[in-house]
Amino acid sequence: MLTITLPNKDKKNYKSPVTALQIATEISPRLASDAFVAEVNGELWDLNRLINTDSTVSILTSKNNETLDLIRHDAAHIMAEAVLEIFPETQVTIGPSIENGFYYDFFREKKFNLSDLEIIEKRMHEIVDRDEKITREVWTRKQALDFFKKNNENFKVELVNAIPENETVTFYRQGNFIDLCRGPHAPSTKKLGHSFKLTKLAGSYWRGDSKNAVLQRIYGTAFLNDKDLKNYLLMIEEAEKRDHRKIGKELNLFHLQEEAVGSVFWHKKGWSIYLEIEAYMRRKLKKSYEEVKTPQVIDRSLWEKSGHWDKFQEHMFMAKGDDEKTLALKPMNCPGHVQIYKQGLKSYKDLPIRMSEFGSCHRNEPSGALHGIMRVRQFTQDDAHIFCMNSQITDECVNFCELLQQIYKDFGFAGLKVKFSDRPEIRAGDDETWDKAEEALLKAVKAANISFTLNPGEGAFYGPKLEFVLTDAIGRDWQCGTLQVDFVLPERLGAFYVDADSQKKHPVMLHRAILGSLERWIGILIEQYSGRMPLWLAPTQVVICSIVESVNDYVLEIKESLDKSGIRNEIDIRNEKIGYKIREHSNKAVPIILVIGNQEKDKKTVAIRYLGSKNQQVLEIENFIEDVSLKCLPPDMV
């Protein structure tokens, strides 16, 4: 007898193996019609897969958020089927669902173009309308290898060879298309519906390695309904307008070039933003953190002791000194901070010690993963580490969460989500240590009264972490801040303090960042504000424009007064029409434009135009400076 337990705790008994679809049909024909996939003992299963042991079963429909990733995975398979029908010479490789969509990597001698996407998308709609059954098949490794070798699909042969010996090899078939896949999938192509769109083309490398074959990647997106799809496409359109790379070039903030891949050339205006953010962060940390600076190049022996060598070696830039020792540009700052902590004997009375650094880090990111200044190879973190006792963890975490929320608010971000990431599969430290670290962090986040969602298996290799995700003006999420509880690294690197009983103890190490990468943070700000930075961050806060040459001396007087007040300003005394000047500086996102003619000179006033407003205000120069000086101050100084 087979017993199936439903979500409401009702039980159904069966004499032989049963499918989730049969169960759904017994419950309600409507449920069976709407069913997309099943959850069997916490694992997603195909509706037609036989259940042959006592199990807890839930039926999921397209109304369940859990099915959205599966819908997108179905879309990837249907896209691959469409590509092979239209371009049969193509080889398919890997096609997962991703955040907000899906992609598939193809190997093909001839390049796809944008018009091909329209043709492929049209065929996808036809495949959906065919209502092709999607069936799961279990093959032996030999069957799979013979099949792919026969069809000269070398990429798939490599994937089969990478499957562990004891793992089941599964295929999914729909129409004439068959693909190696773990699944699960919907019972038929019709379940996908028509709320999908192919969005762009990109290049990629097989398995992300530039030494391997060059592939073509087609991206798409899929949603549960047309409304969600339309809203997403509108967001993408708006995101393209806000692209920090385009705005950065238009506003002369920075540039990137091939001779320094993944590194930023900051121009005067962009560097002004950078310095203003750095100064703000220094002021916020000055009272409770000691700022330090650690070396850029460190011998591999320290990275081996810390465990980073095994974990991050492939992402580290190497060099050799004249003594032939292997050196590495630091990918993170934490081992260096431990070295500073270890200088001199520490007592429990010295703790907590909060150590901050604007640490310049280097990581050898794949070229295909680089994205403007959002993802680079050289970046600076607003990094800090807190060395404390077990009894101090909760207070330190609560204080950090409050500081982070205040800083995000000052930059204009109100929406905040928090993810609790627990132990990854590959990690340092034993289970007892991880139990202790996770319990401590969980206690702290609850004490901070912060709502969070679980993010299983995504912790750092040395400890669990909180990930702070902000939402920008057009609804996109950005993970920036992190807080990690680490019982491992201090022990590995020999850090200790003397407790009240004169016993040596290892401190707990809290790794934390608020902005994360400053480069990425500035990219987010550029897109958040479409280049129209808040007044306190604007590279040029005021531009003074002359109408006629006879007022140039008064323009220089105003500039001198603004300089003395610390207001970043420029003058424009070119022989151009005032309308042209106003348009040009408005397009450069200058927040305040002062228009100066003979009347303003005679009365010692300024005519003020604020960005985005057609109205003009006239004030005496002293009143204007008094007013704007306050508006130009950073939020923490008002």
- Cα separation, 51 vs 335, in Å, equals 50
The CA distances from residue 355 to 285, 333, 346, 508, 578, in Å, are: 10, 11, 14, 13, 52
- Cα separation, 223 vs 69, in Å, equals 9
Amino acid (1-letter code) at residue 103? Y
The C-alpha R_g of the chain, in whole angstroms, comes to 30
- Cα separation, 391 vs 394, in Å, equals 7
**From its phi and psi, is residue 602 left (phi > 0), alpha (psi between -120 and 50) or beta?**
alpha
Whether 465 is catalytic: yes
Count of other CB atoms within 10 angstroms of residue 576: 12
Question: Active site residue: 308, 362, 363, 520, which one?
Answer: 363
Task: Return the sign of the alpha-carbon dihedral for residues 137, 138, 143, 148.
Answer: positive
Whether 383 is catalytic: yes
Count of other CB atoms within 10 angstroms of residue 298: 18
Whether 385 is catalytic: yes
3-class secondary-structure state, position 107? strand
Nearest CA to 358 out of 246, 244, 513, 217 is that of 513
The structure tokens listed for 244 are: 């920090």
Question: Active site residue: 73, 77, 511, 585, which one?
Answer: 511
Count of other CB atoms within 10 angstroms of residue 246: 15
Alpha helices in 184-241, H assignment, sequence order = 226-241
122-141 burial, b if ≥16 CB within 10 A, otherwise e?
ebbeebbeeebebbbeebee
Tell me 345's DSSP state. Answer: -
- Please, what's the largest Cα pairwise distance for the chain? 100
Question: Active site residue: 77, 362, 385, 505, which one?
Answer: 385
The structure tokens listed for 554 are: 């008064």
H helices, E strands: number in the chain: 20, 35
- The residue behind tokens 């920036």 is 480
Close Cβ partners of 164 (under 8 Å, ≥ 6 residues apart) = none
Amino acid (1-letter code) at residue 349? K
Question: Active site residue: 46, 74, 105, 383, which one?
Answer: 383
Count of other CB atoms within 10 angstroms of residue 72: 24
Close Cβ partners of 125 (under 8 Å, ≥ 6 residues apart) = 194
Cis preceding-peptide flag for 352 (omega within 30 of 0):
yes
Amino acid (1-letter code) at residue 189? T
Question: Active site residue: 181, 334, 401, 545, which one?
Answer: 334
Nearest CA to 331 out of 375, 381, 278 is that of 381
The structure tokens listed for 249 are: 């070039």
Nearest CA to 192 out of 235, 128, 113, 105 is that of 128
Question: Active site residue: 362, 377, 465, 609, which one?
Answer: 465
Whether 378 is catalytic: no
247-260 burial, b if ≥16 CB within 10 A, otherwise e?
bbeebebbebeeee
User: Catalytic site residues?
Assistant: 334, 363, 381, 383, 385, 465, 511
